[in-house]
Amino acid sequence: MQQTLESNNTLLVDGPASVRVVSGKVEVFGALVKEEKRIVVREGKRLPFFVREKAVFEISLGVNASIEEVSGRSTIPQSWNKPLEAILSFSKKPVIILILGKIDSGKSSYCTYLINKLVNGKCTLAVLDGDLGQSDIGPSGTLAYALTSRSLTEMYDLKLENAFFVGVTSPIKGIDRIIEGLNEIKDQILQRSVDYILINTDGWVTGEIAINYKTALIKELKPDVIIGLPQKHELEPLIANIAEFPIIMVEPSSSLCPRSPEKRKSLREMTYVRYLKNAKIQNYPMSQLTIEPKKSIPKKQEPEKGLLVGLYGSKDKFLGIGVLREINSLRKALKVQTSVSAKPKRLVVGKIFLNMKLQEIQD
């Protein structure tokens, strides 16, 4: 179907959908959308198409997708530009920026907007995705990073450079591993020539354990600027713990679309499918692998209920994920469903179970 919008209006599109700008000047999170380019809006995601000049859209909606027109304004708050002056004032490079906010506060949307505003200056930016339960860059259960010098409409479009496999989707189950992993990836990025390092974090920010975890994480990563997206007062106890760091608060977008646990699970499963595309069963002799944690391989593995594993090559290079489908105790070998063709040197066992359709199942 076609939809025409006058300038200064916003078209909110909830996926699954595809949108093509037939004519006009349109932005998504500050990125100019070229005419005739088709933008895919994934299920469980919402994109705001802000019309700078009268535009005609061609829209295809999937099951349960929807559109909404917001008249006379952008859904991007003016305060989203406030941190830019502070970020651009740093003479040293790279500038480390960390994003804080609870679940569904719009952290990924703000990261996308910030990327687009910074790369317009022809710089190189590293994006470190620390939200392992709703990862945009790597598969769920991992901490991942990507490099970009171009604008984008969604961080999902970024190309994975490297990842750290944690093997859980809830931060409370992997606090030490998350801090270790984010610090390790930050050190890897510092070996590259980048102007900015943007770190997105998970949405666990309330309660004593969460505050202690986030405080330890921030003190380890030592960001130059912290940007918070409070919805009410939920960040105040945490902010009090990290007062020595520069903190800038911005408003959440008025177009936030809270996701149900089922939607969040569906988005995680999409990442498993993405990174296990055309997967085959590979046989790995255990004698040729370093397995972590030690003694983490169960005595028996039901093929239809497989453990997610991370596969590594040399020098901590993340090769991809796999699903442990069978353990051959007699031959001391593992059967792993994976898209990885290279021979791994290290296998890290997670705590996520996937069925044959790559859907999460409870242990």
209 and 244 share one domain: yes
Q: Which of 147, 178, 149 is nearest to 165 (CA)?
A: 178
Residues 49 and 209: their CA atoms lie apart, in Å, by: 38
198 and 244 share one domain: yes
Residue 265 belongs to some domain of the structure: no
308 and 219 share one domain: no
CB 106 within 8 A of CB 229: yes
> Residue 294: what pLDDT?
82
Residues 146 and 167: their CA atoms lie apart, in Å, by: 20
CB 340 within 8 A of CB 349: no
pLDDT along the chain (363 residues), means of 10: 95 96 96 92 94 96 94 94 94 96 94 94 92 94 97 95 97 96 97 96 96 97 97 94 95 86 93 96 95 85 88 94 92 95 96 96 79
> Residue 117: what pLDDT?
95
> Residue 363: what pLDDT?
64
109 and 61 share one domain: no
> Residue 118: what pLDDT?
95
List b or e across 143-164, with b for residues whose CB sees 16 or more CB atoms inside 10 angstroms.
bbbbebeebbbbbbebebbbbb
Residue 266 belongs to some domain of the structure: no
7 and 26 share one domain: yes
Residues 6+ apart with CB under 8 A from 71: 9
Query: Which structural domain, as residue segments, surrounds residue 343?
Result: 276-361
CATH of the domain at 11: 2.60.120.1030
CB 144 within 8 A of CB 196: no
294 and 161 share one domain: no
Residue 260 belongs to some domain of the structure: no
